[in-house]
Chains A and B, each alone.
Chain A
Amino acid sequence: MSDTLPRLLLRNAERWGDGRVALREKERGIWRETTWAAYLENVRRFALGLIQLGFERGDKLAIVGDNRPEWVVAELAAQALGGASVGLYQDAVAAELAFVIDHSDARIVVVEDQEQVDKLLEARSRIPRVKKIVYYDPRGLRSYARDTLLPFTDVQRLGDGVPTGRFAQELARGRAGDLALICYTSGTTGEPKGAMLTHENMTRMAGNLMSVDPVGERDEFVSFLPLAWIGEQMMSVAAALTVGFAVNFPEEPDTVQQNIREIGPHVMFAPPRIWENLLSTVQVKIEDSPWLKRRFYDLALKIGYERAARAFARARPGALGRVREAAADVLVLAPLKDSLGLSRLRRAYTGGAALGPDAFRFFHALGVNLKQIYGQTEIAGISVLHRDGEVKFETVGKPIPETEVRISDSGEIVSRSPSVFQGYYKNPEATAKSLRDGWLHSGDSGLIDEDGHLVVIDRMADVMTLADGSKFSPQYIENKLKFSPYVKEAVVVGQDRPFVGALVNIDMANVGKWAETRQITYTTYTDLAQKAQVYELVSRHVDRVNRELPRAAKIARFVLLHKELDPDDEELTRTRKVRRRFVEERYADLIAGLYGERAEILVETEVRYQTGKATVMRVPLRVHTMEHERVA
């Protein structure tokens, strides 16, 4: 029943040939189409070229770059030859790339452009096994005379020298149980681990997901999140091949928003930060708009919120309600959705982390069917999701078919399904820890509510206890803080401390705009973050958040950080999750200062420029104590 991913491609190419678009990429201002037949042809030629380069069954092909057709072509070519692809995050620094490439034993690396080539050359002593680097954007690489480097099209041309029958033979040898990809999870702790997933893992997950939430073969999907991430693999490769919908690749990372609008996708899958960004964009633009527009927006959104609330309670609207809602839709909500490119959207998913209920409610008010999904890389991405019409903010929904989810005696969420991974590559200890008797141990604590929905509380290890013994979930508070367009990131602390404190990153774009309209001048991020008015602004928001928090969990003090938390500084993972342990260690002095007596903390920070030069700055950071909160 299950098949390999490249054989699904063959099936689709036989079924639709040149009659239907499989991939689309915007290039030089025009959406350029690749049909199913051309897609297969590209994969075939690249696969044959890989054979010429010495790629063998069981080999790994590392791939790093923005989302482009070449990325998935390279992946499927490797899989067609019985190999596995290893996706890397394109913004990873040289050392991170080198670690994963070396650990995965890849001998050929496919990269996008000069930027990635430079990183690999910088780290070449640490990746001795790599013998070929294949690139698909030649810009700036002309002067790189090295025999390890060759362009993507040259590999395809090499392939033209191999009899075409070889491709079909290789394809026929593939088994559904073969390794298809190794997905390295950055993890919020420690070194990356490579989760091994088979073709069957991927196709079964896609089949199960599609049986709950069908996507039509004529639907559109925009692929804009890193293809190294399991969520993007799941949609752009596994589900797209299973169903046959079209995958669209944006022109550049900067144009994603415009490109989404041009395509008008029917289904979208994004981590919370993307939804939070969308929300902030709307909020800021509305704040900038004239009084009348603002009034209309407020009014329509209020009606939207009521409709959403009623839908969640499964009540029917009255006649008057229907008229009001239709008016709100026509006048405000539909045009707003259109401007975000969400008009045709039937389903939208958020996953990878928790999205705050306020953001959730906002999208439902607009009429976007946003649903939470839950899963791990180790279970091919998705194991649990909201069913249509059964969205509950505080839950992540119900397991997809063929999937069992239960809560272990220690309160941990464990699951079992045909999509559970084969273990971590070359890491049996880690495998033994998370895979016990076929059950995947998530490390998340959770419970199952009266409707059978799974509720995720927090990472098991993250739930914190104050000195007086009261427990709180830092993530829950952080999500509330991040609902403000002015807050980009927040780290809540308080383990064994007398009260809850927060390190807050302001959103430079939005706070900058806010400051400009109030004629507050500033120079750098640090300068802006330390303005008294900005502290006032954030403190008003913290006050609102505090009102919704239980007494013990109220934020008593906060600091606005002098720099943005950055994956390059290892403070965030490549999927932009806070690496809590690391941040707490790195900012130990600052956190100690939060619980001290001083109103200002002096921090030393090293600033590294692109040139490699570094300087140490000493900046004083204000500590803001909330009024009315207990600071004992």
Chain B
Amino acid sequence: MSAQFSAADLHLRFGGVVALAGVSIDVERGEIFAIIGPNGAGKTSLLNAVCRLYRPQRGRITFEGRDISGLAPHRVAKLGIARTFQNIELFAGMSVLDNLMLGRHVHMRSGVLDDAIYWGRARAEEIRNREVVEDIIDFLEIEHIRRRVVGTLPYGLQKRVELGRALAVEPRLLLLDEPMAGMNLEEKEDMARFVLDINEERGVTVVLIEHDMGVVMDISSHVAVLDFGKKIAQGTPDQVRADPNVIKAYLGEESEAIRAAERAVAAEPVA
């Protein structure tokens, strides 16, 4: 079976800094794919390259058999790829409802004039969009904050609203950049449940960056590990967990030295 989404040999440089050095990933339809790696490994750069906020110098990105390497970001969204950001990027002064309605933008057809008169097609479209948004509000259990201004909401809820906006696009591929960062255990559990439900109930493929290894290992079917812009491992959670390269990347070189030292000490005869 061919992958729903793949990035091949991506190279991304900012001046002298190499963010991605030949990274390739293949994501199958309907799976939850996690990208992990230490800080500065290039995880967010990879997501940004995928949705074309960054332009890689080399490499090819295909989505459902189509080359999207040259498309503008809003075209990528239209194809059915949505994302959330590590630091919430919502319109803080607008209500939850309005933020979600904005997520429907790619599906809106009526022009300025239609909308001004608000009759016929424009009205039907607005109602249809509102229905989709209300479905999402119900799905994410945020009825109680529908009319609240986003900026006044606690962090965990803002994260949920941002997820909602991505869902409003009705994506087939959802990119989540650290959806659980800064959350307490209970909020993480809720978020993990939402991600699983999105994947199962709505059939959306999910690519997520996450630091919480417990979550990653529990919910994802495949994991790719980045370090210094390179992919150093890929496989099922169990395979990745056992990979010596991954252990080294996470624990660092010194730990190797410490272990060697420990071995040396242990080998010394007791006087």
A residues lining the B interface (CB < 8 Å): 27-29, 139-140, 142-143, 251-252, 254-255, 258, 609-611
Contacts and interface: CB of A to CB of B under 8 A. Distances in A.
A255 B143 contact: yes
B144 interface: yes
Interface in B158-192: 185-186, 189
A139 B194 CA distance: 11
Please classify the interface of chain A as helix (H, G, I), strand (E, B), loop, or mixed, using the class held by over half of its residues.
loop
A601 to B, nearest CB: 27
Please classify the interface of chain B as helix (H, G, I), strand (E, B), loop, or mixed, using the class held by over half of its residues.
helix
8 closest Cβ pairs, A-B complex: A254-B144, A28-B134, A255-B144, A252-B143, A251-B143, A29-B134, A255-B143, A610-B189
Given A28-B138, A609-B185, A611-B189, A252 B197 contact: no
Interface in B176-221: 185-186, 189, 197, 200-201
Interface in B213-264: none
A252 B141 contact: yes
Interface centre among A29, A143, A252, A254 (most CB of B within 10 A): A29
A139 B185 contact: no
A139 B201 contact: yes
Contact of B135 (A28, A251, A252, A254): A28
Nearest to A141: B201
Nearest to B138: A28
A140 B138 contact: no
B146 interface: yes
B131 interface: yes
A140 B137 contact: no
8 contacts: A27-B138, A28-B131, A29-B130, A139-B139, A140-B197, A252-B143, A252-B144, A610-B186
Contacts of B186: 609-610
Contacts of B144: 252, 254-255, 258
Contacts of B143: 29, 251-252, 254-255
A95 B130 CA distance: 41
Interface residues on B, range: 10 to 19
B240 to A, nearest CB: 22
Contacts of B197: 139-140
Interface in B137-153: 137-139, 141, 143-144, 146
Nearest to B131: A28
Nearest to B147: A258
A194 to B, nearest CB: 32
A412 B243 CA distance: 73
A143 B203 CA distance: 13
Given A139-B197, A252-B144, A29 B189 contact: no
Contacts of A143: 200
Contacts of A27: 138
Contacts of B134: 28-29
A139 B193 CA distance: 12
Contacts of A140: 197, 200-201
A252 B142 CA distance: 9
A172 B75 CA distance: 65
B100 to A, nearest CB: 11
Contacts of B130: 29
Interface centre among B137, B144, B185, B197 (most CB of A within 10 A): B144
A143 B197 CA distance: 11
Interface centre among A28, A609, A611 (most CB of B within 10 A): A28
Contacts of B135: 28
A139 B144 CA distance: 19
Contact of A29 (B141, B146, B200, B201): B146
Contacts of A255: 143-144
A29 B137 contact: yes
A143 B131 CA distance: 25
Contacts of A139: 139, 197, 201
Contacts of A29: 130, 134, 137, 143, 146
A611 B212 CA distance: 15
B178 to A, nearest CB: 21
Nearest to A143: B200
Given A27-B138, A28-B138, 9 more contacts: A28-B131, A28-B137, A29-B134, A29-B137, A140-B197, A140-B200, A143-B200, A610-B189, A611-B189
